[in-house]
Chain A
Amino acid sequence: MSQKDSFVKFEKVDKSYDGEILVVKDLNLDVPKGEFLTMLGPSGSGKTTVLMMLAGFETPTSGEIYLDGNPISSIPPNKRGIGMVFQNYALFPHMTVKENLAFPLEVRKMQKSEIDEKVGNALSMVELQDFGNRMPLQLSGGQQQRVALARSLVFEPRLVLMDEPLGALDKNLREQMQYEIKHIHEKIGITVVYVTHDQSEALTMSNRIAVFNDGKIQQISSPDVLYEKPNSSFVAQFIGENNQLKGKVKSINGENCIITTESGDDVQALKINVNNNGDGSLVSLRPERVAINSSENFENNFEAKVKELIYLGDHIRSRVEVCGNDQFIVKIPNSYKGANLKEGATVKLSWKASDSRALDLN
């Protein structure tokens, strides 16, 4: 990616609070204009710190952040022109919805008529035209969330940051809001940096996802690549459901390799980040990529014993024992040709070598 289309740029950024532990280590990140980038990671992985540095509430211990080509470390937060949606919305409780929305415009000394127009537009964008005179506490969680969103966009910032904005909502509302935010982003084409620890949220909304762990970006790529081609066992585990077979590298052959599991079975897999024969490795495999009693031709075929069947409506989740792993999950679609399994039965499991990825032992 060239310097030109990087709108937000982190360059060798380190951050420490106490001078002993680095919360963010050597962060290099480019966000092009108009992108929806999600920073995903477990709590304490440094993702919120990165966001706070971008907003200006924390200063990088070393390194520099650029916004549209200009270094911003010495610019105070109120001069950065970055919108932000906070975790608990941070709507001002003593002001009405309209006053909340007018606040960023008033501090910019806009005309009264212009303010009214922009506030009206922002309210209709989030479909809250009739709620302008309510106090924030008189609104439901989802409505407050929308007001917070409208407030972060009303002054037309170049960049919007969102710090787990949907964390306080219940599941249905959260999903609905995910689509709403996604649509607003598509409509106005603003650059968004979004922080969450919810992987399905990240997969739904983002152009790209940066997976954080231990102060570092583990992998940054589009949702489908991240899900289908994780390049470390942390990412494979963190995103979606994942079967793991532990073993050692037996041989490496170009792009492929053979891993011998602890039970002595040889598994053919893609070589991702193992290098030498004899190295420990985790083979990662998505449950939906495993076929049961299939007559097709696969590189990997093993006998497995069904341990447990859980009925989940649209699919049946079966836990089986294969290659020494008794926590191996297979998802069987509840379709007309559903495999009629019984607990304790022995079945044949097959999968492609290209679906199993030999990752580092982490």
Chain B
Amino acid sequence: MNQTQTSSGPILTTDGIPLKVSLKKAERINKIRAFLLVLPLLAFILITFLVPIGDMLARSIDDRQINTVFPKTFEVYKKWDRQGLPSEEVYKTMFFELKNSEGYSVGKASTRMNYSKSGWKSLLKKSKRKFKKIEEGPYKEKMIAIDKKWGDPEYWLAIGQMVDPTTMGYYLNAVDLKYDSSKNVVQQKENRRIYNKTWIKTFKVSLLVTLFCLLLGYPISYLLATLPMKYSNLLMICVLLPFWTSLLVRTVAWMVMLQQKGVLNNLLVMSNLLEDENRFQLMYNQTAVVIVMTQILLPFMVLPLYSVMKTISPTYMRAALNLGASPMHAFYKIYMPNSVPGVSAGCLLVFIIAIGYYITPELVGGKDGQMVGNWIAYHLKTTLNWGLCASLGAILLAMMTVLYWAYNKIVGIENIKLG
């Protein structure tokens, strides 16, 4: 008799319960335990990482704050046909909302209004002071009498950009664009275009740093992976030594090395290789940023490279030689393709760290070496334009995601080996 099960239905256990259900039940305890084990970390990441990032992304388009200061004005403003000057009603509502508002919230709102049209801040400050003397209408004429900016349609049109609770203005700003008074996207004025240049510079510096890290890191990693253990351990310590030194100390050491009257230039002048008046400009520019960042990020290239190269059996090279390939050819055809996972992991890691780097460009970059990270810090601390910070940050994040996606498509993320 044929006992084999020929039906295509679900496989049953001896008890008659479908195997999958039974398996799920048996695995449930393990799953719960695994979940409990990662729970503290999950909570930590959620609170300190995911929530702030979400908040940042929200801030980059958030435009509600101003709506809470002038809600009624915005209501009546919406009825205006944007021709000439608004009606007396708009002026009147604006007058009372400004007069009765708190100084603090007006301050914040005026900062936001200034992004759309500079001049708003001083106008509101001055008006709030002078409105106290005005008791009755007509408000339009009296306001224009206080400051003739109130009679300039440009200012009123600028409010139009802020009526919606969300705005793309920060993103436009981050790529040197803006809304004009009728909410069309236009380029910033020539002298205010700074971000596109910074983006290009950031990419250029990051690419250069990645390239130099690869050029310097590949031979070292090869040596590390092929030397006998007792030498490679020592060499590994040398590679990791920078990790154990403060970033600040290292950066300052580079400043001593590279500045115009620094060690390197002095040595070159002393050994008559360089005229005293032709000293190299190696500090406070992009060159300095590239040199110092390469040194700082080198371990991030060496470690993934080393861990991959360690797994490449030396007999591959021997086999290639034995089969008649010259050492160069064997290296190029056999060793290099096998080290690709390490190369790509190292490059991706270094590039991602480099593109958002802040401290080194800040210290050694001077005016010429500022990167996107420095603008974010500047707006975060000095101008308090957090919306712009958030949009710059979000663009960075998006770029890295695209990069990661492209990498996954081309190389395959499962090929990455970090250790």
Contact = CB atoms under 8 A, between A and B. Distances in A.
Contacts of B243: none
A126 to B, nearest CB: 17
B405 interface: no
B58 interface: no
Interface in A86-112: 86-88, 90-94, 103-104, 107-108
Contacts of B320: 92, 103
Interface residues of A, number: 25
B310 to A, nearest CB: 15
A151 B323 contact: yes
A92 B338 CA distance: 9
Contacts of A79: 324
B338 A93 contact: yes
A99 to B, nearest CB: 10
Contacts of A91: 319
Nearest to A161: B322
A88 B319 contact: no
B82 interface: no
A104 B323 CA distance: 5
Given A57-B318, A86-B315, A86-B318, A92 B325 contact: no
A87 to B, nearest CB: 8
Contact of B319 (A56, A86, A108, A155): A86
A197 B333 CA distance: 33
A94 B334 CA distance: 8
Nearest to B337: A94
A92 B334 contact: yes
B327 A78 contact: yes
B324 A90 contact: no
B416 to A, nearest CB: 16
Interface string B326-352: 110110011001100000000000000
Contact of A90 (B316, B329, B337): B316
Contacts of B327: 78
A81 B324 contact: yes
A83 B315 CA distance: 14
Given A88-B313, A92-B334, A107 B324 contact: yes
Nearest to B338: A94
Interface string B301-322: 0000000000001011011111
A107 B322 contact: no
A205 interface: no
B323 A155 contact: yes
Given A78-B326, A78-B327, A107-B329, A92 B319 contact: yes
Contacts of A88: 313, 315
A120 interface: no
A258 interface: no
A84 interface: yes
Contacts of B324: 78-79, 81, 104, 107-108, 155
Contacts of B316: 90, 92
A83 B323 CA distance: 7
Contact of B322 (A77, A92, A93, A108): A77
Interface in A4-59: 55-57
A93 B338 CA distance: 8
B317 to A, nearest CB: 9
Contacts of B319: 84, 86, 90-92
A101 to B, nearest CB: 10
B320 to A, nearest CB: 7
Interface in A56-87: 56-57, 76-79, 81-84, 86-87
Contact of B323 (A57, A76, A103): A103
A76 B322 CA distance: 9
B338 A76 contact: no
B343 to A, nearest CB: 13
A333 B398 CA distance: 80
A107 B321 contact: no
A84 B320 CA distance: 10
A195 B324 CA distance: 22
Contacts of A92: 316, 319-320, 334, 338
Contacts of B330: 78
Contact of A78 (B315, B321, B338): B321
Contacts of B326: 78, 107
Interface in B169-220: none
A84 B323 CA distance: 8
Q: Which of A55, A90, A94, A108 is packed against the most chain B CB atoms within 10 Å?
A: A90
A155 B324 CA distance: 9
B325 to A, nearest CB: 5
A55 B319 CA distance: 10
Contacts of B325: 78, 103-104, 107
A129 B329 CA distance: 28
Contacts of A155: 323-324
Contacts of B334: 92
A84 B321 CA distance: 10
A91 to B, nearest CB: 8
Contacts of A57: 318, 321
A265 to B, nearest CB: 53
A84 B338 contact: no
Contacts of A78: 321-327, 330
B390 to A, nearest CB: 44
A81 B329 CA distance: 16
B322 A83 contact: yes
Contacts of A93: 338
A77 B315 CA distance: 13
A81 B324 CA distance: 7
Contacts of A83: 322
A55 B320 CA distance: 12
Nearest to A154: B323
Nearest to B340: A94
Contacts of A103: 320, 323, 325, 333
Nearest to B317: A90
17 contacts: A57-B318, A77-B321, A77-B322, A78-B321, A78-B325, A79-B324, A84-B319, A86-B315, A86-B318, A87-B315, A92-B320, A92-B334, A92-B338, A94-B338, A107-B329, A108-B324, A155-B323
Interface of B: 313, 315-316, 318-327, 329-330, 333-334, 337-338
Give me the 6 closest cross-chain CB pairs, A-B, nearest first.
A104-B323, A90-B319, A90-B315, A77-B321, A84-B322, A78-B321
Interface of A: 55-57, 76-79, 81-84, 86-88, 90-94, 103-104, 107-108, 151, 155
Given A56-B321, A78-B330, A86-B315, 5 more contacts: A78-B321, A84-B319, A90-B313, A90-B316, A155-B324
